[in-house]
């Protein structure tokens, strides 16, 4: 259970970072 939560959290963080990175790139 804990492992699954950790994986989900990591996925969410990576997804948000990737999304933010894409938005920043488009602005430039």
More confident site: 18 or 1? 18
Query: Please, which pLDDT band fits residue 2 given cuts at 50, 70 and 90?
Result: confident
More confident site: 26 or 13? 13
The model's pLDDT over 7-20, given as tens digits with 9 standing for 90+, comes to 999 999 999 999 99
Q: Secondary structure of the chain: what % helix, strand, coil (to 5)?
A: 95, 0, 5
What pTM was computed for the model?
0.60
Report pLDDT for 9. Answer: 97
């Amino acid at each position: 259970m804990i492992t699954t939560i950790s994986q989900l959290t990591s996925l969410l963080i990576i997804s948000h970072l990737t999304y933010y990175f894409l938005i920043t790139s488009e602005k430039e």
